[in-house]
Amino acid sequence: MMNSIETVFTRPNVLFLLDGLWTTLLISLCVVILSIVFGTLLGLIRNYEKKFFGKIAGFYIELFRNTPLLLWMLGCAFLIPGSTILVKASIALFLYTAAVVAEIVRGGLNSIPKGQFEAAHSQGFSFFQTLVYIILPQTFKKIIPSLLSQVITTIKDTSFLAGLGIMEFTRSGQVILGKVTKTSEVFLIYGFLAVVYFIICFALSVLVRNWHEKNSENV
């Protein structure tokens, strides 16, 4: 076993894996930030604009939420002209995640009592001011656990990029896997990938749980 560990976890292999992990975390961060911004906009449009734009937003959300992520990654990779395959596949992940975030935001918006709009209007707030200063802050406070759960899902979803040859964490492990010959070395590589994913996602899960418990105590 010691020989297998020394064979797999050489300095070049470890650095290669860490580079893949950095790519995974960077893609996840960019996708999450952009998805929260765009998903919030979609959620607002679908919830409060019941005509043309609301229907367009609803169609977009349902289309992405009810079709496979890998399908969109492949579609963007081969149909979008120019740019790198990393950017094109990341765009697909962003568009997909934004649709999920939009539904999370919409659920939070619907949990806010309608009377708050009337109260804000009576104080001279416009509809936009009511959303920005009253509704959205309460909404995000309610949906933080769901958003953090989606962050965890997004980190795991980046593993789909391996199927397109993008050197994220899973793909880095697959490349090293092609260099080994022993079964024990295969288990070491897959085990290492699983442990790292588990540590990251479990840490975020604990954060979600602690935030929810603390928030419940303050209610």
At CA 75, angle to CA 71 and CA 76, rounded to 5? 120
Report pLDDT for 80. Answer: 85
State yes or no: pLDDT of 45 exceeds 80.
yes
Cβ(152)–Cβ(162) below 8 Å: no
Task: Give the phi and the psi of residue 174 in degrees, each rounded to 5.
Answer: -65, -40
pLDDT tens, position by position, 170-186: 999 989 888 877 888 88
- Please, what is the average pLDDT of the chain? 89
Q: How far is 92 from 69, CA to CA, in rounded Å?
A: 8
Q: How far is 154 from 74, CA to CA, in rounded Å?
A: 17
Tokens of 64: 């992405």
pLDDT tens, position by position, 104-145: 999 999 888 888 888 888 888 888 888 888 899 889 988 988
State yes or no: pLDDT of 7 exceeds 60.
yes
Report pLDDT for 27. Answer: 95
Give residue 47's identity as a one-letter amino acid code: N
Q: Is 219 helix (H, G, I), strand (E, B) or coil?
A: coil
